[in-house]
């Protein structure tokens, strides 16, 4: 029998994430910074807002002037002015006085609250009836209520969502320091692979993996760079791999699942500068033949050639490495920071079996019934892309498990 | 008391979605098509794969030649050749014969299965011992097993994920017909608003909404176009709005929450070509003052000026309109097609109260404890952006509810 390679557990593979080098940083315009990763902690450079602002249309008053007011017993106030939006009022409010104010207007000196216009009636230009009392601070936001000067507002490593972009705008940061997008090289290998625009011969297939992997990389904020198709030849693969390693922050070699090709890949990876083959097989299915080598703190992956296997390995293994070198902080919560690490709770619709000693990743489709989310396993060979097209997500069946029964609670990673 | 506008229920607003015009289509290169929306049904133009392929390294055989084989009683086969990757074998396999094959290799005429190399031992160049029997069809994929010629492979309106991109590559579609990205104009209004790069005066604030809304639009596959800041002036707003309506597929006017500004906006919207103000207030909070007008089948929105309100209205109200005009099919399942409509099940960490007669959208933060996902309500005024920065998602408290109790099951939309 043929010797088989010694596999590494997934946890041990993921523990290697911090061994690799983060990308450099750059400054980008705020309008294009969504989904980028912040490269430094940011602190408030001023109070936000810089002045007390009304949150309602109405009248700025001293709250004490309205105490006890009701429909039957209104408070009578003198209207002493109108606050112009965007301008600092040049008058102040005393006891028994009111000034007309719009949402967002600056409260005048002496006022501490706003009566909603719906709770007032102006008798004439200068006389106002108020039908509800207000408390000090009501219907306004105080100076510095959103953020106080010198407060830390965002942490290095956070992925900028729309609200973080809005926050930076509020502080006038129209440019922001972020990590560069990690550049990921893709080399597709195999004597049977032809470019997508060619018609395959009788024993050939088109290059799927360059496209599926490029989309996956772009989808998590990386920049895919294709190095085309390399036939199963040591010198060609070494030349392409050397070039890709120099030009990119990480390299994915797809294909080479066959024993001969795998041997090529190992030989090539071992020939790179300061090379170390760190992983040669992972105890997962699909994806067992995955290879990881380090070369001068850059990760070079040998991914399985089957389309499903390479996508599953990307989601479950490669992605945390790309997120790390791209500067993304590892969140305490798996659900923080948008959808990148979301998991959905569902119940398993049918039994699935699994071999102990490895983690099985099962493709599932969602079915909603009476408010319950079910995950239906999609069975099928890992060379069949239709199983991924039908799938909404992946579930893991643990390394010590022989399977899961219908009705089991499962955690689904959307794909 | 001031007359208040008559509000529309959210369901009735969302029922207006199909009234608007879809964008046109374009052809794009496959490598950039991820997350785009397919503009036509696609059918298979050939069988996939086009030939029977091995899924293992081993030997192509007739299964019947291996029946009864075991470690103690191996089958003896003659090795008649080696299958070269990417080439059609020029020999066939008879009873008692085997040919060496790699993963992805084409099965020769006469063979119907593959014995894994681990279950064999080659005695010499021509003699093979086989220690396991295989069934016909084992360790291979049949011609057409993934997709059959003329089968519908993808439906119009589907959002292309990495696996769909891979599928199109498999069929040689290096260009694909998709809907154009909807172009969404943004006009920020308010006399108190200054551009982000300016230092605000004492009663002024920077333009946040152009940035937060641009990011939201880009995040769902639209193209944001900023028309800058318009002071509260009827003629200026009409001119900008007319231009934006001509150049874009939809327009968002942000600001104008104050009664006077709202009146401006209504007047401006009513002056557009074939204008109809369809919604003037929605029974939601935040977001009640939202306005929707149609003009020649384009939607023009008046959004609240408060940063939180405008973002919540975008997520809950505007987004389905953009998805519709962008060609996206409304899926049966809310969880299909990537993360755009995902909801997470969680339990509420604290009581929240709500006013009946409207839907309240509550910002929540996720907390994970002992495998249970909790949603902690984040209270705070809708003018405070820090409440959105702290939030991971939104929950809805129904129109007939007075609130939700701690422990209630809630469905969280990630933001």
Contact assessment for residue A232 and residue A191, using Cβ atoms and an 8 Å cutoff: yes
- Name the band, by pLDDT with cuts 50, 70 and 90, for residue B5: low
Interface contact B102, partner A, CB < 8 A: yes
Inform me whether the pLDDT recorded for B235 exceeds 70.
yes
Do A384 and B141 count as a contact with CB atoms less than 8 A apart?
yes
pLDDT, tens digit, 9 for 90 and up, residues B34-65: 999 999 999 999 999 999 999 999 999 999 99
| Residue A130: count of CB within 10 angstroms of its CB | 23
- Name the band, by pLDDT with cuts 50, 70 and 90, for residue B261: confident
Do A366 and B333 count as a contact with CB atoms less than 8 A apart?
yes
Contact assessment for residue B228 and residue B189, using Cβ atoms and an 8 Å cutoff: no
Q: How confident is chain A (415 residues) per 10-residue block, as mean pLDDT? A: 69 96 98 96 96 95 97 97 95 97 95 97 96 97 97 96 97 97 97 95 95 97 97 92 98 81 86 95 94 97 94 96 93 43 88 93 92 91 93 93 94 91
Do A192 and B165 count as a contact with CB atoms less than 8 A apart?
no
Interface contact A342, partner B, CB < 8 A: yes
Closest CA relative to residue B260, chosen from B288, B229, B234: B234
Lowest mean pLDDT among A56-70, A167-181, B176-190, B252-266: B252-266
Do A165 and B226 count as a contact with CB atoms less than 8 A apart?
no
Domains and CATH numbers, chain A: 10-23+180-325 (3.40.980.10), 25-48+146-179 (3.90.105.10), 53-141 (2.170.190.11), 344-414 (2.40.340.10)
The interface pTM score, or ipTM, of the predicted complex is 0.93
pLDDT, tens digit, 9 for 90 and up, residues A126-174: 999 999 999 999 999 999 999 999 999 999 999 999 999 999 999 999 9
Pairing of strands A250-254, A298-303: parallel
Q: Which residues of A touch B212 (CB under 8 A)?
A: 162-163, 165-166, 169
Backbone angles phi, psi at A371, to 5 degrees: 80, -5
- Name the band, by pLDDT with cuts 50, 70 and 90, for residue B369: confident
For A393, name the nearest residue in chain B, comparing CA atoms only: B338
Lowest mean pLDDT among B2-6, B84-88, B302-306, B339-343: B2-6
Interface contact B18, partner A, CB < 8 A: no
- Closest chain A C-alpha to B138 CA, distance in angstroms: 11
**What pLDDT score was predicted for residue B6?**
83
- Kindly calculate the radius of gyration of chain B based on its CA atoms and give it in whole angstroms: 31
Interface contact B372, partner A, CB < 8 A: no
Do A414 and B339 count as a contact with CB atoms less than 8 A apart?
yes
Interface contact B29, partner A, CB < 8 A: no
Do A106 and B208 count as a contact with CB atoms less than 8 A apart?
no
pTM for this prediction? 0.94
Interface contact B78, partner A, CB < 8 A: no
pLDDT, tens digit, 9 for 90 and up, residues A179-196: 999 999 999 999 999 999
Token representation of residue B154: 């993808």
Interface contact B6, partner A, CB < 8 A: no
**What pLDDT score was predicted for residue B2?**
40
Q: What is the mean pLDDT of residues B369-387?
A: 90
Interface contact A154, partner B, CB < 8 A: yes
Distance CA B156, CA B314 (A): 25
Contact assessment for residue B286 and residue B264, using Cβ atoms and an 8 Å cutoff: no
């Amino acid at each position: 029998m043929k010797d088989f390679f010694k596999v590494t557990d997934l946890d041990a593979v993921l523990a290697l994430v911090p061994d690799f080098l983060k990308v450099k940083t750059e400054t980008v315009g705020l309008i294009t910074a969504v989904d980028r990763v912040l490269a430094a902690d940011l602190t408030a450079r001023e109070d936000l807002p810089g002045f007390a602002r009304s949150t309602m249309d109405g009248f700025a008053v001293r709250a004490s002037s309205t105490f006890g007011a009701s429909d039957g017993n209104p408070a009578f106030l003198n209207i002493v002015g109108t606050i112009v939006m965007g301008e600092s009022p040049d008058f102040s409010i005393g006891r028994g006085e009111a000034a007309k104010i719009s949402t967002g207007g600056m409260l005048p000196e002496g006022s501490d609250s706003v009566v909603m216009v719906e709770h007032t009636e102006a008798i004439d230009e200068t006389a106002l009836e108020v039908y509800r009392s207000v408390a000090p601070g009501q219907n306004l936001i105080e100076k510095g209520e959103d953020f106080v000067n010198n407060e830390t507002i965002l942490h290095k490593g956070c992925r900028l969502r729309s609200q973080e972009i809005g926050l930076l705008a509020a502080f006038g940061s129209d440019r922001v320091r972020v990590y560069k997008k990690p550049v990921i090289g893709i080399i597709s290998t195999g004597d049977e692979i032809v470019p997508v625009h060619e018609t395959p011969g009788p024993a050939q297939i088109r290059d799927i993996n360059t496209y599926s992997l490029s989309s996956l990389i772009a989808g998590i904020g990386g920049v895919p760079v294709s190095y085309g198709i390399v036939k199963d030849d040591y010198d060609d693969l070494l030349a392409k791999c050397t070039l890709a390693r120099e030009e990119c922050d990480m390299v994915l070699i797809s294909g080479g699942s066959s024993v001969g090709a795998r041997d090529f890949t190992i030989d090539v990876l071992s020939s790179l500068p300061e090379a170390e083959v760190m992983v040669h097989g992972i105890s997962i299915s699909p994806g067992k033949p995955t290879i990881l080598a380090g070369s001068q703190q850059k990760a070079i992956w040998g991914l399985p050639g089957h389309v499903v296997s390479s996508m599953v390995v990307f989601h479950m293994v490669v992605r945390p490495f790309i997120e790390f070198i791209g500067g993304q902080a590892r969140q305490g919560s798996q659900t923080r920071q948008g959808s990148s690490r979301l998991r959905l709770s569902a119940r398993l619709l049918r039994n699935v079996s699994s071999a102990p000693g490895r983690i099985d990743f099962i493709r599932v489709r969602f079915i909603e019934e009476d408010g319950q989310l079910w995950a239906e396993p999609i069975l099928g060979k890992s060379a069949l892309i239709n199983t991924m097209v039908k799938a909404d997500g992946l579930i893991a069946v643990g390394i010590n498990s022989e399977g899961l029964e219908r009705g089991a609670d499962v955690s689904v990673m959307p794909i």
